[in-house]
Amino acid sequence: MTDVRREVPRTDVVLADPRLVAATGRLGRDRVKAAVLEAQGLARAGRLAPTAVSDAAVGMLPERASSLRPVLNATGIVLHTNLGRAPLTAAAVEAMAAASAYVDVEYDVTTGGRATRGRGTLAALLEAVPAAEAALVVNNGAAALVLTTTALAADREVVVSRGELVEIGDGFRLPDLIASTGARLREVGTTNRTSLSDYADAVGADTGCILKVHPSNFRVEGFTSSVDVADLSRLGVPVVADVGSGLLHPDSLLPDEPDVTTALTGGATVVTCSGDKLLGGPQAGLVFGSAAAVETVRRHPLARAVRVDKTTLAALEATLRGPKTLVQQSIRADPAALKMRAERLAVAVGGDVVPSEGAVGGGGAPGLTLPGWAVALPASYAERLRRGTPCVVGRVVRDRCLLDLRCIPESDDRRLQDAVLACMS
């Protein structure tokens, strides 16, 4: 009797397969060995040909050690929170990779002593926003806001309009966030209208700051009024403006989107925003303002708990100093070029080329649509495309799956086409 078990290749022989040697570099020896042992077990049980052990082990292993799955974003929504908001430029990715080793993030190579953490990034921020005397980088926009209001108004009042008490997503509400560290909220005005006198009546000895929040994920229309930063800044207390999306200067394409520079020149003491929305960088929270106020924020004990790491600092600096961001490119994509690319895709995979309304998404420019084009396929494709490799996420509108090329770099058109063809066969 021939014993199939004797034909099962030895573990060290299988592990020498070049594909498994490469996988060991990516995934570590334990993980690769476990796959080999599992494949050998299948072979011993007669469920796998002994000659197929290496192939089976290779097939069991993931491409990389992280389970995060890269996605081709064919939704037409530029800042899709569930898809990780801003995609980074190659320049930012490169800077991040370089910074992931030992770096002089807080070290002065000339003196061999301590240096200001992230000083290159801070310099880039101040160059980008000359209206700011100082800047600080924290973990995200919510951290920037809570740290700033805590530092300026702990145990005192934060005066804020009722129309600006927003929920930023997944059940997190700004009022709860601000109150969580001890500042008290003093709500003024009504949901749709708040006047300067509402603020003036509320401001007193107990006021830590006035907070002006940009309602970035919804729009109130009709009978509305609000007070701008310039008027608030004349009430004699610090004004904190949370502009949200991280636009540093006014942008004619996004006329309703507040920007950091206008808020500062209007008289805001501190302006906060996110790094991974319209700024197009890594997840971060930015704090801009007067030297004294930013120093107060920086020295607050909570600042240490929301500090960013070296790779974030690197990616942020490269975003500010590097080439045009992918977010900018997607928002400004030429509709005629999008149509041509959609036509090319439709020729290859079938489907109709239809107009498609893209959006900024992710808490930026609500109500603004970005006119473009998409390839329309039957809705049943949506799930197959999501489950494919690469994973493609389209937008289902009524009974069709739209593939909008706005957020897909042109260099990925071929990969998208192949992914669609693969799920057709």
User: Which residues in this chain contact ligand PLP in the complex, by CB under 6 A?
Assistant: 140-142, 145, 168, 213-214, 216, 242, 244-245, 274, 285, 363
Of 21, 60, 73, the C-alpha closest to 359 is: 73
For the chain, counts of helices (H) and of strands (E): 18, 17
**DSSP code string of 31-54:** HHHHHHHHHHHHHHTTSS-GGGHH
Q: In 3D, which of 94, 93, 96, 73 has the Cα closest to residue 83?
A: 73
The smaller minimum CB distance to ligand PLP, of residues 141 and 322, is found at 141
HEC string of 246-266 equals CCCCCCCCCCCCCCHHHHHHC
Residue number with CB closer to ligand PLP (17 or 242): 242
Name the strand (E) or helix (H) holding 71. strand 71-73
Shortest CB 213 distance to ligand PLP, Å:
5
Cβ proximity to ligand PLP, 238 vs 394, nearer residue = 238
Q: How far is CA 358 from the centre of its chain?
A: 18
Residue 275 has φ and ψ, to the nearest 5°, of -95, -20
Q: Can you tell me the distance from the alpha carbon of 69 to that of 71, in angstroms, rounded to the nearest whole number?
A: 6
Q: How far is the CB of 284 from ligand PLP (least distance, A)?
A: 8
Nearest distance from C-beta of residue 131 to ligand PLP, angstroms: 19
Using a 10 angstrom Cβ sphere, with 0-12 exposed, 13-18 middle and 19 or more buried, the burial of residue 376 is buried
State the nearest-atom distance from the C-beta of 160 to ligand PLP, in Å: 12
Residue closer to ligand PLP (CB basis): 150 or 356: 150
Q: What phi and psi, each to the nearest 5 degrees, are found at residue 282?
A: -75, 165
Distances (CA, A) of 110 to 54, 107, 122, 320: 52, 9, 20, 26
CB of 245 to ligand PLP, least distance (A): 6
Q: Name the minimum Å distance from CB 351 to ligand PLP.
A: 35
CB of 167 to ligand PLP, least distance (A): 10
Residue closest to ligand PLP (Cβ)? 141
Q: How far is the CB of 347 from ligand PLP (least distance, A)?
A: 39
Residue 401 burial class via C-beta count within 10 angstroms: exposed 0-12, middle 13-18, buried 19 and up: buried
Judged by beta carbon, residue 229 or residue 402, the one nearer ligand PLP is: 229
Whether 149 and 240 have beta carbons less than 8 Å apart is answered as yes
Closer to ligand PLP by Cβ: residue 32 or 147: 147
The smaller minimum CB distance to ligand PLP, of residues 242 and 259, is found at: 242
Closer Cβ to ligand PLP, 76 or 285, answer by number: 285
Residue 41: CB atoms within 10 Å: 13
Instruction: Name the minimum Å distance from CB 180 to ligand PLP.
Output: 14
Output the smallest distance, CB 385 to ligand PLP, in A: 28
* Residue whose CB is less far from ligand PLP, 54 or 150: 150
**Comparison of 137 and 168: residue with beta carbon closer to ligand PLP:** 168
Residue 243 or 374: the one with the smaller Cβ distance to ligand PLP is 243
Smallest distance from the beta carbon of 169 to ligand PLP, in angstroms? 7
Rounded Cα distance, 86 and 104, in Å: 26
Instruction: Count other Cβ atoms within 10 Å, centred on residue 219.
Output: 12
**All residues at 6 or more sequence positions from 394 whose CB lies less than 8 Å from its CB, including other chains:** 74, 75, 377, 381, 382, 385, 401, 402, 403, 404
CA distance 74 to 72: 6
- Beta-strand pair 369-378/400-404: antiparallel
